[in-house]
Chains A and B, each alone.
Chain A
Amino acid sequence: MADPHGLVHLEPAASPGTHALVIGTGRYAHLLGGDTPSQRSDGMKQLSSPPISARAFATWLIDEYHHTTKPLASVALLLSETAPAPFDNAKAGTSSEVLEASIANVTAAVTAWRQRADSSPDNRLVFYFCGHGISEGEDMSLLASDFNPDDENPLNQALDFSKLRHGLRKCAASEQLFFIDACRASSDVLISQSGATFAGQVPLLPGMRPLDLPRLLSVPYYATLAGDLSHARPGSVSLFTQALLRGLRGAGSDDPEGDWRVTTSRLQEAIDHFLKQPVFAGKVAGVQVPVVGELPVFDVHELTAAPIVPVYVGCAPPEVNATAEFVCRQAGSERFRRAVADVDSDDPQAEWAVDLEFGEYEFAATLAAGEVRTKRLTVRPSYRRISLAAGP
């Protein structure tokens, strides 16, 4: 039986610590393709990537997240998926049934999560949501799995995200991170047309931060990809979450004090970078990822290994990429190769994208006519783009 508050990982000794609530909603009973679809689904349908994305983020938190002064203390996970499956926690050696991401469970989980994080002002909150969402201006509603357009008030099964952040102001945890991968395939006038004062359930009432608590540093990251093409690869982790994870694994890191750390600002740059790359984001490349309000700078994650950096290798002119074989070597040994047979037939002129650890490499391109072009350089965050041109 699932934990009533969605807990899948708990480290009681971690105090102060980081408390995470991760929600991935893909199966919606009352939307197109659901068990009891509404006639007013308004184009909204089932999503395959949110539960996969949420699992990936929860797994990253448990297996890779590292912060010396705010280690991982708890992870709560709520999912709504076509084929419910347990969550395997390799670190704890457990397999947990996962709580359904209905609005009742979400609000209960929010309350419990807030209570866990309230134990110390040195705690950190992490909130992650992937699924359908609605936004108008400063208002945002996150749709739970039992969202029903036929309800007298459809947003009864939604979470008012803006008010959630305002309510968390009263929580002692002074660092709060929010990752919102809310697919905007829904009607974005629903908030204003629902009486304009209601944008979803409010489990934590907004209010003033107590004067005796340290200043709150609150950073939301949003994916603003239009339509359900934000989850353009069915059955895979969403583009935003992929960008987030790659940013956390190195693209969003810097080493001002000698060790590699992901900061809030570098993470934003990394996510923004990935979502602008056609080779990564395909047709939705170029849409911005705004961070609303402000971006106080602090460490999000401390890397325990060398950062992984995205590298894009191509030739000048790009037409040559279609018939070039690329090789990447480090200290004389071949690390990766892209053969001509592996060229993307949909976009033969695309650059070769490869993830490399921080370090020095040599890149070579062998062209159809036998010409070889090489370049040696250092790979470091946030990314490197290499253009191999003909010699003089």
Chain B
Amino acid sequence: MSGTLEVRVEAMMYEDDVRAGVRVVGNIFPVGGRGDTHRQVLIPVGSDVPAASFPVQPGRYLVEATLPSGVVLCDEVDVGEGLRTEVRLQALDSPHETHSWQYVVGNVESGTTYRSPATIPVPNSTGSRSFGRLRDRAADASLESAARPARVRWLLDGSPHGPALDRLGPLHGAEEVDQWLGTALQVSAQQEIDQPSASDGTSPLYRFTSAVHPAGGQFGRQFLTVESQGDAYLVTLPSPWLDTQHTESVVEVLVNGRQSPTGSAVSVTVRDPSLGAGLAYLAGGALSKAQAVFSDAQRMLHDKVTNHLAAAAGAYVLVGTDLAPERREWDAWLDNLRQWFPQMSDGSILCGIRRLRLAQTQADVDDARDALLEGCDRGLPAYTLGISWLVEALSEFPDDPPCVARLDQVRRLSWRVDLREPFVVLRLTGDHT
């Protein structure tokens, strides 16, 4: 006869859309070598979520859950024969209840750190662009903008493909940014988001759904511009995002005014109970954990019509974790993602990477090359991983002039991209050429 472990992580998530919580990856180990082991299991996180049940032989167990932030929660319990033992791990140290989701996925520090008066070390190089933000504002009037609250605008129209990967010229100030938006994105209308959904004066949170802010077409790319701390950003908005129950998830954008100069100024996450944590694991390169969350990645890729962005995320997980040398059933769906959603270059990039890894002939290599170039020509990917993978893959063609030219463009683009974020956040301002 066995017992049962009932495991959950408590977090301050009380809003209606997150009542189902979010799933993170954990492990269950027997103490003393006797008992059942459960690795890479999914554990619910929330305020009052149903626990996940795991049958185990009676004995003592160590239960751990790894949040996407990297924090590992653990506890040790005894399980009696035929009994249910509850394990409640705690992730309650969010700086604010409203920021709990951001805390769990690692976009904001724990409350203890957030409220600490300790200063954050900064690079001591006068040439560092990070250091530049902390220069004496009295010495440079343009930096007065750093003292203003964040400004967020939703781009209501514009190219459905997003900006091309051409070289970004140096943009200084809001006027030049707006000019660039008009030419590079054909944007003519922007909606100012006057009030954040929640704010403590330092790190405002903005929440988006199509009910609040109508999407500009079902499959077109959505973007925000965010001005904060003297910089302007083009922010990928993965909206509308339908979860596995075909319910629209809230897209949450955190403008982190307290973040250290080496932290993320703008973070985007999706409050999808099934996949939200998986996106954060994906951003951190922890693809094996993302795979556990995207346990049904194949079905997501197959079901791309409902949510092509989620399908692309699932595809990154599949392509990144599959080590087999032969094609899989889902390779055909990868081709469909590329063909059916041309406004999202990720499909082409994924096909190119996949073909390159499985290549056995020159024809395979040529197909890969063509897919990668197509990905470049389709504009900014939705996922940051697409940029990293483009650099990796294009560098395999050093004697191919079009690939060399595109590689140069993507490298320069990467200088402006926050590589820690799952969705592309592009810094528009600055002197990078």
What are the residues of chain B within 8 A of A378 when measuring CB–CB? 31-32, 60, 62, 76
With A and B bound together, what is the CA distance between A61 and B380 in angstroms? Answer: 42
Contact A226 B261 (CB under 8 A): yes
Hey, what's the 0/1 contact readout for A32-54 against B, CB within 8 Å counting as 1?
00000000001110000000000
What are the residues of chain A within 8 A of B389 when measuring CB–CB? 293
Asked if B85 is at the interface of the complex by the 8 Å CB criterion, the answer is no
Contact A139 B414 (CB under 8 A): yes
With A and B bound together, what is the CA distance between A188 and B127 in angstroms? Answer: 7
Known contacts A137-B415, A269-B72: A192-B433 contact under CB 8 Å:
yes
With A and B bound together, what is the CA distance between A376 and B122 in angstroms? Answer: 42
Contact B388 A43 (CB under 8 A): no
What are the residues of chain A within 8 A of B414 when measuring CB–CB? 136-139
Asked if B325 is at the interface of the complex by the 8 Å CB criterion, the answer is yes
Max chain B C-beta neighbours (<10 A), residue from A162, A292, A360: A292
Contact B128 A187 (CB under 8 A): yes
With A and B bound together, what is the CA distance between A253 and B286 in angstroms? Answer: 16
Asked if B398 is at the interface of the complex by the 8 Å CB criterion, the answer is yes
What are the residues of chain A within 8 A of B287 when measuring CB–CB? 294-296
Contact B411 A383 (CB under 8 A): no
Contact B286 A208 (CB under 8 A): no
Asked if B130 is at the interface of the complex by the 8 Å CB criterion, the answer is yes
Asked if A287 is at the interface of the complex by the 8 Å CB criterion, the answer is yes
Contact B288 A43 (CB under 8 A): no
Asked if A284 is at the interface of the complex by the 8 Å CB criterion, the answer is yes
Nearest Cβ in chain B — how far from A300, in angstroms?
14
Contact A290 B124 (CB under 8 A): no
With A and B bound together, what is the CA distance between A197 and B124 in angstroms? Answer: 26
Contact B31 A192 (CB under 8 A): no
Known contacts A166-B395, A294-B287, A295-B286: A43-B415 contact under CB 8 Å:
no
With A and B bound together, what is the CA distance between A285 and B262 in angstroms? Answer: 13
Contact B124 A211 (CB under 8 A): no
Nearest Cβ in chain B — how far from A126, in angstroms?
19
Other-chain contact of A208, B127, B387, B391, B397 (Cβ < 8 Å): B397
State which residues 300-319 of A face B: CB under 8 Å. none
**Interface size classification for chain B:** 35 or more
Task: Name the segment of B44-52, B187-195, B231-239, B355-363 touching the other chain.
Answer: B355-363
What are the residues of chain A within 8 A of B387 when measuring CB–CB? 138
Asked if B245 is at the interface of the complex by the 8 Å CB criterion, the answer is no
Total CB contacts across the A-B interface at under 8 A: 180
Asked if A92 is at the interface of the complex by the 8 Å CB criterion, the answer is no
Nearest Cβ in chain B — how far from A27, in angstroms?
19
Hey, what's the 0/1 contact readout for A97-115 against B, CB within 8 Å counting as 1?
0000000000000000000
What are the residues of chain A within 8 A of B411 when measuring CB–CB? 137-139, 196
With A and B bound together, what is the CA distance between A197 and B398 in angstroms? Answer: 13
Asked if A233 is at the interface of the complex by the 8 Å CB criterion, the answer is no
What are the residues of chain B within 8 A of A297 when measuring CB–CB? 288
Closest to A139 in B: B411
What are the residues of chain A within 8 A of B124 when measuring CB–CB? 43, 185, 227-228
Contact A190 B432 (CB under 8 A): no
Known contacts A206-B395, A287-B262: A43-B125 contact under CB 8 Å:
yes
Other-chain contact of A209, B286, B396, B420, B433 (Cβ < 8 Å): B396
Asked if A339 is at the interface of the complex by the 8 Å CB criterion, the answer is no
Nearest Cβ in chain B — how far from A362, in angstroms?
13
Other-chain contact of B70, A276, A293, A380 (Cβ < 8 Å): A276
Known contacts A206-B396, A215-B357, A295-B288: A185-B388 contact under CB 8 Å:
no
Contact A207 B396 (CB under 8 A): yes
What are the residues of chain B within 8 A of A197 when measuring CB–CB? 408
Nearest Cβ in chain B — how far from A90, in angstroms?
34
Nearest Cβ in chain A — how far from B405, in angstroms?
11
With A and B bound together, what is the CA distance between A156 and B221 in angstroms? Answer: 42
Contact A137 B417 (CB under 8 A): yes
State which residues 69-127 of B face A: CB under 8 Å. 70-72, 74, 76, 106, 109, 113, 118-127
What are the residues of chain A within 8 A of B415 when measuring CB–CB? 136-137, 139, 191-192
Contact B70 A269 (CB under 8 A): yes
With A and B bound together, what is the CA distance between A383 and B109 in angstroms? Answer: 20
With A and B bound together, what is the CA distance between A100 and B37 in angstroms? Answer: 49
Contact A206 B70 (CB under 8 A): no
Contact B288 A291 (CB under 8 A): no
Nearest Cβ in chain B — how far from A151, in angstroms?
16
Contact B360 A284 (CB under 8 A): no
What are the residues of chain B within 8 A of A208 when measuring CB–CB? 365, 396-397
Nearest Cβ in chain B — how far from A278, in angstroms?
8
Other-chain contact of B286, A189, A268, A292 (Cβ < 8 Å): A268
Contact B285 A294 (CB under 8 A): yes
With A and B bound together, what is the CA distance between A297 and B411 in angstroms? Answer: 27
State which residues 114-149 of A face B: CB under 8 Å. 136-139
Nearest Cβ in chain B — how far from A384, in angstroms?
7
What are the residues of chain B within 8 A of A226 when measuring CB–CB? 120-123, 130, 260-262
Asked if B392 is at the interface of the complex by the 8 Å CB criterion, the answer is yes
Hey, what's the 0/1 contact readout for A64-100 against B, CB within 8 Å counting as 1?
0000000000000000000000000000000000000
Nearest Cβ in chain A — how far from B402, in angstroms?
15
With A and B bound together, what is the CA distance between A215 and B289 in angstroms? Answer: 21
Nearest Cβ in chain A — how far from B38, in angstroms?
11
With A and B bound together, what is the CA distance between A377 and B31 in angstroms? Answer: 9
Contact A187 B113 (CB under 8 A): no
Asked if A9 is at the interface of the complex by the 8 Å CB criterion, the answer is no
What are the residues of chain A within 8 A of B129 when measuring CB–CB? 188-189
What are the residues of chain B within 8 A of A377 when measuring CB–CB? 62, 76
With A and B bound together, what is the CA distance between A287 and B357 in angstroms? Answer: 33
Contact A192 B432 (CB under 8 A): yes
What are the residues of chain B within 8 A of A287 when measuring CB–CB? 260, 262-263
Asked if A246 is at the interface of the complex by the 8 Å CB criterion, the answer is no
State which residues 24-82 of B face A: CB under 8 Å. 29, 31-32, 37, 39, 60, 62, 66, 70-72, 74, 76
Other-chain contact of A42, B121, B125, B359 (Cβ < 8 Å): B125
Nearest Cβ in chain B — how far from A16, in angstroms?
18
Contact A138 B62 (CB under 8 A): no
Nearest Cβ in chain B — how far from A162, in angstroms?
8
Asked if A186 is at the interface of the complex by the 8 Å CB criterion, the answer is yes
With A and B bound together, what is the CA distance between A169 and B39 in angstroms? Answer: 32
Contact B388 A138 (CB under 8 A): yes
New A-B contacts (9) at CB < 8 Å, excluding given A137-B415, A197-B408: A184-B128, A189-B431, A196-B408, A215-B323, A276-B70, A276-B71, A290-B420, A360-B32, A377-B76
CB-CB nearest 5 A-B residue pairs: A187-B127, A137-B414, A291-B285, A137-B415, A138-B414
- Listed in ascending order, the chain A residues whose CB lies under 8 Å from chain B are 42-44, 136-139, 162-163, 166, 169, 184-192, 196-197, 205-209, 211, 215, 217, 224, 226-229, 256, 265, 268-269, 272-273, 276, 283-288, 290-297, 360, 377-378, 380, 382-385
- Listed in ascending order, the chain B residues whose CB lies under 8 Å from chain A are 29, 31-32, 37, 39, 60, 62, 66, 70-72, 74, 76, 106, 109, 113, 118-130, 260-263, 284-289, 320-321, 323, 325, 357, 359-361, 365, 385, 387-389, 391-392, 395-398, 408, 410-417, 419-420, 431-433
19 interchain pairs, CB-CB under 8 A? A43-B124, A137-B419, A138-B391, A138-B414, A186-B123, A187-B128, A188-B127, A192-B412, A192-B433, A206-B396, A207-B398, A226-B123, A226-B262, A256-B37, A265-B286, A276-B71, A293-B389, A296-B287, A360-B31
